[in-house]
Structure formats: C-alpha cells, structure tokens
A and B are shown apart, each in its own frame.
Chain A
Amino acid sequence: MIAQTTSNSPVANTSYKVVLPFYVYAAVAFLVATILLLSSTKAFHIHYFHPQLLAITHIMALGWGTMIILGASHQLIPVLIESGLYSNKLAYASFVLTGIGVPLLAYAFYTFDMGDPAKWGGRFVVIGILTYLINVAKSMARSKTENVHATFVFTATVWLFITVLLGLVQVYNFTAPLLQEDSLHYLALHAHSGILGWFLLLIIGVGSRLIPMFLISKYTNDRLLWLVYYLINISLLSFVMIFYFPSEKNLIFLPIAGVILSISLFVYYCYKAYQQRIRRQVDEQMKLSLLSIVMLLLPMLLLVAVVSFIINSDTENIVLINVYGFLIFFGWLTAIILGMTFKTLPFIVWNKVYHVQATQGQTPNPKDLFDDKIFKIMSIAFIAGLLLFVAGILAAIALMLQAGAILLLVTAILYNFNVLKVVFHKIPKL
C-alpha cells in the first residue's frame, strides 16, 4: 500500500536552547553598540582607527552580526545540508567562548588596552569560532548531499576563522612585532576577509536558499550561484595577492569589480526569485531583507571612490572610509538582520511553545508572536537614522550625527522589545 521510501517522523531540529541565547546576546550587543554610537559621534570626525570606533565596529561585527548568524545557522544548516547538526554541545561552546571574548575585546578597544583584555578576548573568539567551524565541518561530513548553499556556508566559516585569527595576530603585534608592518597596515585585509569572506558569502549562501523559499518562488539557478561563489573567492584571493605583492596600483580595481559584479548577479537572482514568486504578498520582514541586498551595492560603489582617492592623492579620505564602514555594519548587515530575525526567531519559539499542539486554528501564527506595528516603526526609525547619520558624517554636522544615533538607538530598543516579546512568549491563558 505505502511506498517504501518513507520515514515515520521528521528529522529533529536543532534544539531551541542552543539557538535562542545567540539571538538574545546579539540583540543586547546591538543595543550596546547604538548606546556607544550615541556617545561617540565626535570620533567620526577624527579617524576610523579610533578606540571608540574600533570598539563599536567589533561589537557590531562580532556581537551583533556574527552572533546572530551563528545562532540562526545552527537552525538553518540542517535545512541547507539536509542532515542534522553534528553537536549541540559544540554549539553551546561556541556561544560561551565567543560570548566571553566579544566584551573583552570591546573593552580592550574602547580603553585601547592591547594587553591581557585584548589578548584574552581574541583567544576566546578564535577558539569559539574554531568550535563552530568544527561543528559545521562535521555536520557537512555526515550529509549525503552536496549543494552550492552549503559550500557557501562552509567557505564563509573558513574565512571567518582566518579573519579572527588575523585579528588576534594584529592584537599581539601591538606588544610584540609579529608582523612586518604595524597592525593598522593589515586592517584592510582583516576587515575585508570578514566583510566579504564571512558576511557576504554566508548571506548569499543562506539568502539564496531562504529568499525563494519564503517567496515560494520557482526560480533556482545553481550555475549563477556557483559563478557568484567563484567570483567572490577569486576576488578576495586576488586582493590578498595584491596586498602582499603590490605592483600596479590600479590592479586593486579588479577584485573590487569582481565583488560588484557578484553582488549585482545576486541582486539579479533575488529579482528573478521575486518575479517568479507564487506568493504575491510580500511581508515587511522580506521587504527589509530584500532592500538590504540592494543596499550593499552602495558601500561597494563607495569603495571605488575610497580607493580612487587613495591612488590619486596618496592620502586616505577619512570621511568616505567612515561612511563606507558605517554603511556596511549599520546599513547592509543591520538591515538584513532586522528583517530576517522576524522570519526565523518566531518559528523557533513557536515550535518550542506549540510543537505538541495541533496547528488547527487554535494556535497563533508565528508572525503573531511579535508586534508588527513596532516592527514597522522600527524599520522607519532605522532607515531615517541611517540616512541622517550618513549625512551627518558627510556634512560633518554634529546635530545630524546625534539625531541619527538617537534614531538608531530607538531602532535597537524596539528591536529588543520585539525579540524579548518573542523569546518569552507563553501560551495565552483562556
């Protein structure tokens, strides 16, 4: 009667206990970063290698971006590789280790103490990321299927490990000369292996699976995704080569062009998925996530201006570099996280609270677990805050910077409100 290729129950998901701490940690980190931003607006007139800006950048990159991606990926990796997560214990370990390391690093940068706090912070982060890398590698080794999305995730994780390892070496280089040049010299390498190798590869790898899934789109194009994959990696590797063996200055535009092309191709991929969607209505969370992908083109075009300025005048344009970094961490990365949090977190909590109850109309929908009105206000505050702050950096107007920072702080408060509302959701009493 019944075909043989069946199983009686769905494969178990990663436990919510593993995933939720990452989300809560990231939300708090975002709040802390926006508070520091409000108190450090003057630093944006000085230099990007400023203690306060280094602290904010590391809280945003590690505490906010990386922590939430680690949390979500423990839930999403099984979907991508079609196999269970190798170890919940390793996932806990990566949370605890990275979670201890980030505030130590942030404190070290803020006070510019490159002694024990920075070294211990860096060590904890490196070991935390190594445990995550082992968990991803072991999970993938168990998987029978090989696909482009999983390859993106694994390669991104390798780049993340390279990034934090280089970061730790840079920290040591402050007190003992390990590298040929000072640590600032290697900042571009450290930053771009993180921004492009980790964040961009991972977001494209996961986004290319989730965006068509959430839109219920028929569109798939693995060939295009493989092209994007090779373009980003070749661009990054050639950037490393040019960095170590500088000859013709203009060669630097080649990896930049490669990255811009790969992002444009991914924008095209998302557009086709959007065009061929079966579900006509697109919710606010998806709109914000899709907007963030287009938003990435802006800092990349700005990078062309930054590099052109350096080549033509032999000096750095601090204002443009600050806008570039700000648009990456507070713009692109934050936009995609603000959107995707409420496409993933409510489902994780819904499964925790209602998994034994029938989905027969008695239970709320996952999207009912957070306040949609708050989400909309948060989105408006975010976009307004971002634009004001960028205008403030460009025009060097303190009031604009302050206003932008206040709006971003409001964004973080509203985001935390909704995250906590979801995390502490309980079955309503009748």
Chain B
Amino acid sequence: MNIISNNNEKCDLALNALRNVIDPEIGLNIVDLGLVYQLDFDDEQQIVYCRMTLTTQFCPMGESITESAKSALQQCFLDCRIELNLSFEPVWNQSLISEEGKRFLNQ
C-alpha cells in the first residue's frame, strides 16, 4: 500500500478516519482495499486533498463511498475544506489490497 502524501503525520490521521469507510459489498475498509491513492495537506489554505479510486469506474456504490470518505475526512479535519478527486489511473486491481485486507478476505 503506497499512499502518496506531503505530510506523514496527518496522513496517518486521515487514514485512520478513512478506515471507518467500508465498501458495503466487500465488507472491507477503503484504505485496506487500496482505493486511497494520495492524501495531501495545504496548511496555509486549510485544504485536504484526497485522490482515490473505485473498484470499477461505474461502481454502483461509488457515490456512497466517496460521500462517506469526504464525511470521514471532514470529521477528522474539522476546520479544513475537503477536496476529493476520483482517479482511474492506475485502474484499481486486486494487487492494491493491503496484506491486512487480504487476511480479512481470506477468513
């Protein structure tokens, strides 16, 4: 799991918040599922940038997942504006699932 970030400390906080967002079909959180690609923090303008993906571009759960991710980040960074961008480069694949996620799915 290689998440790009310009602030490791805040990134850990954000990831902890995003671990509460569960993909309803798979039952796994979006961080371990490998949907989060990038988390950047603009301290001056108080903006949190999140670049993430979906398992498929037309994922029927897409809107729910992105709204939930936004809401989780907002609760974590109350004074910041959250900018969430969907990206399909690279396209999500199973190799992006974390070891923790693979263990969960192996149960």
Residues of A near any B CB (own CB < 8 A): 1-3, 5-13, 75, 78-79, 82-84, 213-214, 216-218, 278-281, 347-348, 350-351, 354-361, 363, 365-366
Contact = CB atoms under 8 A, between A and B. Distances in A.
A359 B106 CA distance: 23
Contact of A82 (B23, B42, B57, B62): B57
Contacts of A12: 63
Given A356-B67, A361-B22, A366-B25, A10 B54 contact: yes
26 contacts: A1-B49, A2-B51, A5-B89, A6-B86, A7-B85, A8-B85, A9-B63, A10-B54, A10-B59, A10-B86, A79-B58, A214-B25, A216-B26, A216-B94, A216-B105, A218-B94, A278-B102, A280-B107, A351-B60, A351-B63, A354-B64, A357-B64, A358-B68, A358-B71, A359-B23, A359-B64
B8 interface: no
Contacts of B54: 10
Contacts of B97: 216, 278
A11 B62 contact: yes
A1 B42 contact: yes
Q: Is the interface of A mostly helix, strand, loop or mixed?
A: loop
B6 interface: yes
Contacts of A358: 21, 67-68, 71-72
A359 B24 contact: yes
B71 A360 contact: yes
Given A1-B42, A361-B20, A347 B62 contact: no
Given A1-B40, A216-B94, A358-B67, 8 more contacts: A9-B66, A10-B65, A10-B86, A12-B63, A82-B57, A278-B94, A356-B67, A359-B61
Interface in B1-50: 6, 20-27, 38, 40, 42, 49
B80 interface: no
Given A13-B60, A82-B57, A279-B105, A347 B24 contact: yes
Given A279-B105, A359-B65, A6 B22 contact: no
A5 B52 CA distance: 11
A75 B58 CA distance: 10
B24 to A, nearest CB: 5
Contacts of B66: 9-10
A352 to B, nearest CB: 11
A78 to B, nearest CB: 4
A13 B40 CA distance: 29
